[in-house]
Amino acid sequence: MFNKVLYLFLFLGFFSCKNTPENSAATQPKLVVGVVVDQMRFEYLNRFKNKYTSKGFLRLINQGYSCNDHHFNYVPTYTGPGHASIFTGTTPSVHGIIGNDWYDKDKDEVVYCTTDQKYDPVGAAVKYGHVSPSNLKVTTLPDQNRLFTQMKGKTIGISIKDRGAIFPSGHTANGAYWFEGLEEGKWVTSTYYMDELPEWVKTFNAPLNISNYLKTWNTLYDINLYNESGPDASNYEKPFKGKPDPIFPYDLKALMEFNDGYDILKNTPFGNTMITDFALAAVEAEALGDDEYTDFLTVSYSSTDYVGHDFGVNSTELQDTYLRLDLEIERLLNYLDTNVGEGNYSLFLTSDHGAAEVPSFLKDIDAPGGYVQKNMFTPLYATLKAKYGVSDLIKNISNDQIFLNYDLIKSMQLDLVDVQEFIVNDIINYSAVSKAYTATTMQTSYFKDGMEKTLQNGYNQKLSGDVLFTLKSGVIAYGPKGTTHGSGYTYDTHVPLLFYGNGIQKGKTFERTYVTDIAPTISALLGIAFPSGATGSVIEKAIY
């Protein structure tokens, strides 16, 4: 009899525990942290593995869930579209951020992805401070959490770049902050979010505090140990102004006057240190993770991108930046353990794009690579004039797209599709061009995979151009030193994806996953609605 009573008690207790709203709420993470490492190729996890500590990137890998064949499934692979896609769970074809900037066909001008003249900068005289998330056409993961919690769950977005703070945090954020260097060196925001900086941000902006990041940048370890990278003295790197050679050490205080003042911090690992410090200050001041409503913190480490652009993916400077970032990840995790509680938060880490090897380096080792000449399309104008009798049928060429002059085409009674196809058939013969397609093809055909599918996912019917093209592997439009990104090749699309913390399984997968899968996966973890335009899938094995 006693055993039957005990069994009944345990049985009822089990179901009452499993099904009560109180218990369900208690299992939810108090805080979700979305970390984006700007321009991080997947290979950096393995290439620098022997130099990482066990408590940063390797903690996330060993105690979390790693997706090892994770890719962007669209072009162009730039910062704005990358951050937007990660947090909306869809591609530029849906969310509308088709580049960092693009030619606006209605305004007949190039526009920046976050520009919104209805709002003013807050905190400093910011040149590009008239910004908001208005160009983002769908909701984000943090937006859906705010809606689910009746706006009680907070969202704070942080990045050195405005687009790295604004797009992840979405339309309903309580605050988004980015760094304005130049003469002032301040963290700023826009009137879209608030009319005055909070006191904790003002305190952080104290000149003495910001100036403390202006250190001498030397290698974290003995430079002779950096054998995972090329030599420090390299002809493939772009040096700081005021220093003839790109070699350690770098005296930032001495160099800042030649490099836009406090903006020099962006191009060093100390920019990432500042981001971590600001993020920790935000968690404390905004009481993130303090109550029963899940909060969101989005952190975009931007300095890796600036360093990558200047020094390239094979540089000692880049390796040192990642070894130092590993310590920043460790510091962030330790702080969350102590202040939010180990097991009380969920975190994911990914990147907004990768980067190409420096083409001059590729050429020196006889690998495919090269540069686009600024006048590459000059012959196209002459060809169009010979065919149609006019030379101004093109309005703009940018983001690997060609925009046509609709008014002129209409007045000349030309067939738009014929003009598009004529251009495609012409430029496909250019030595630097790999593929070319018309906008009509993007609208009327379905591509299942390959470069064509990435083009289609990046094509927005209202915003994109009339002809889309891709360059050959290793070919970039950039200067002879340093590198860039934007293509659909694996060096730009293959990035890390690590899940960690509350609700996350331990393990790894080599199944193909996409950037658009992140937001649905975290939505499923939280039990909230997917972002409104989400097209990705839940990575089921990553979550309980």
Residues with a catalytic annotation lie at 79
How far, in Å, CA of 435 to CA of 452, rounded? 9
Nearest to 227 by CA among 361, 48, 355: 48
Nearest to 467 by CA among 194, 121, 103, 108: 103
How far, in Å, CA of 338 to CA of 502, rounded? 15
275 within 8 A of 158, measured Cβ to Cβ = yes
How far, in Å, CA of 333 to CA of 335, rounded? 5
Nearest to 189 by CA among 206, 173, 208: 173
Q: Give the number of C-alpha atoms closer than 13 A to the C-alpha of residue 514, restricted to the C-beta side.
A: 21
How far, in Å, CA of 497 to CA of 349, rounded? 6
Residue corresponding to tokens 């196809």: 421
Largest CA distance in the chain: 100
Render 259-318 in DSSP notation, one character per residue: TTBGGGGGGSHHHHHHHHHHHHHHHHHTTTT-SSS-EEEEEEE-HHHHHHHHH-TT-HHH
> What residues does 104 pair with on adjacent strands?
109
Q: How far, CA to CA in Å, does 409 sit from each of 382, 391, 405, 422, 468?
A: 17, 12, 6, 13, 19
Exposure string (b/e) for 10-47, b if CB count within 10 Å is 16 or more?
eeeeeeeeeeeeeeeeeebbbbbbbbbbbbbbbebbeb
How far, in Å, CA of 370 to CA of 118, rounded? 42
Nearest to 440 by CA among 412, 421, 463, 413: 421
How far, in Å, CA of 523 to CA of 90, rounded? 13
The terminus-to-terminus CA distance of the chain in angstroms comes to 37
